[in-house]
Every structure is written in structure tokens, then in C-alpha cells.
Amino acid sequence: MEMVQIEAILNSETGNSAGNAMLNHNLPVDKMKITVGIIFILVLTGCAGHLNYTPPASPPPEINSIVINKPRDVVWDDMIPKIAEKFYVINNIDKSSGLINISYSGNPEAYIDCGSGESYVKNLKGERTYRFPLASASQRYERMDKGRLFYVHRTISLNGRMNLIFKKLGENKTKITASTKYVLTRVKTTTLIGSNRSQTKNDTISFNSNSSATFPNSVANARCQPTGKFEEDILSLAK
């Protein structure tokens, strides 16, 4: 909290006497104690805050395959144009081995669950509460740390690469398995309010389908994991 804010409050509430007393080194001891006491109370009651973390509600989904009652060649030929019509990128196709590699880059929120955050701050301007999913592509909020107020801007981007394996189980039965590697990049810029001091940190984590990873230096060891929607969206094209 800046001293000028405290002085302004004292001036407005005591007719400048307390505010001027702050600058008067010749004050009687009793008045000096009262002034210091008022400032101490303002500091204690005027600035507060906390940052809470709620982890993902459930573990990563385990099912990432589907069985179709059709010949492998029929399923394969049906899937290629359907994938191409979506916003995914087809990187590699190898029909002899039954492999299709596709990728997605962009907003991670639908495909990744990192839990949620809640930042509460209180100062002379009032109380504010920020609630947001930690997999949000872009989030701005305030954070109080050791009595200092910070402005935070964090962004997260996703690069997901999926291998689709088409396996023949019989003349009219094909199994498709989706295995994805997720790469998350977080950029967080923290600025001390009232100054020009900013700090930017870049962190990257990776994990596969059915697993998870934790960003370093994150709130309460925030854990990120797949929602299963990427695999589900792709496998549903074969139905």
C-alpha cells in the first residue's frame, strides 16, 4: 500500500491534522503513537488476498479406442475425408501400417483440464474475486502476495499430435486406437502494480493420453490432464 494513499485518507478524515502529523517529527509522543496506530490498522485491514487452487475433479479418461463392424479398408477410406473436413492437420498417412498422424494447435480449454483458480484481493479500492479455469487460453487477474498487489496476464497454448492406428480384428471388424501427445506452453507476465517492474516466465510441459503433468512454479502444483474430448471427437468420425 502506498504511503500517499494512507496520507490522503488521514487528511480527508481528520481535517489534515493526522496527515500533517505524519510529516511532523516534533509531535508529542501520544499523538505520534495514535498516528502510527491508525496507519498500522489501515495496512492490516486495507490489504489482503489469497489464491486458491481446485484440481481436476476426476482422473484422465482411460478409453481411447473404438471397434467398428466394418472391414479395415472401408473404415480407413471413410475416415480420411471426414478428418480433412475438420480443422485438424493431417501430417502423415500410411495405409500399409494403418497409421494416420494428425495435429491440433490452439485453445486448449476443450481438450485440457488443469483445474481452476480463484484469486481474491482487497485493498482501498474494494474487494475483487477472479475465478477461471487454468486451461483458459488467456486470463488476466490481480494477485496479492506478501502485502503487494500484482497484475497477472497468463496465456496457454496447446499443440496436440495424435496417432490413429487402424487394426484389423476380422474380415468385418476394425479397431481404431487414438494415442495423443499433448504439449502445453504457458507464458505468464507478472507486474507489480504501481511500478514498471514486470517478469515473464515461459514454461512447457508434455503428457500423453491417460496421463498428466504439472507446471513448475505453479499454484499449489497445478496439474494438467486430457479431457478425452480430442480422442472422442476423432473416434466419433468412424461411427
pLDDT in tens, the chain (239 residues): 333 333 333 333 333 433 444 344 454 545 444 444 444 444 444 689 988 999 998 999 888 999 999 999 999 999 999 999 998 999 999 999 999 999 999 999 999 999 999 999 999 999 999 999 999 999 999 999 988 999 999 999 999 999 999 999 999 999 999 999 999 999 999 999 988 899 999 999 999 999 999 998 766 678 999 999 999 999 999 98
CB distance 156 to 136 below 8 Å: yes
- What integer pLDDT is reported at residue 222 of this predicted model? 84
Same domain (yes/no): 12, 88: no
Same domain (yes/no): 180, 118: yes
Same domain (yes/no): 129, 14: no
Same domain (yes/no): 11, 57: no
Q: What sign results for the dihedral spanned by CA atoms 134, 229, 58, 160?
A: negative
- What integer pLDDT is reported at residue 142 of this predicted model? 96
CA torsion, ordered 82, 86, 91, 97, to nearest 10 deg = -20
- What integer pLDDT is reported at residue 199 of this predicted model? 94
- 3-state SS of 169-190 is EECCEEEEEEEEEEEEEEEEEE
- What integer pLDDT is reported at residue 4 of this predicted model? 33
Same domain (yes/no): 41, 54: no
Same domain (yes/no): 159, 178: yes
Tell me which residue range forms the domain holding 7: 3-46
Same domain (yes/no): 149, 190: yes
Same domain (yes/no): 54, 66: yes
For the entire predicted model, the pTM comes to: 0.78
Same domain (yes/no): 24, 55: no
> How many structural domains is the chain composed of?
2
DSSP 211: -
Same domain (yes/no): 8, 63: no
Q: Which residues contact 83 (CB under 8 A, 6 or more apart)?
A: 90, 100, 102, 234, 237
Same domain (yes/no): 178, 60: yes
Same domain (yes/no): 90, 203: yes
Question: How many whole angstroms separate alpha carbon 170 and alpha carbon 152?
Answer: 56
- What integer pLDDT is reported at residue 45 of this predicted model? 47
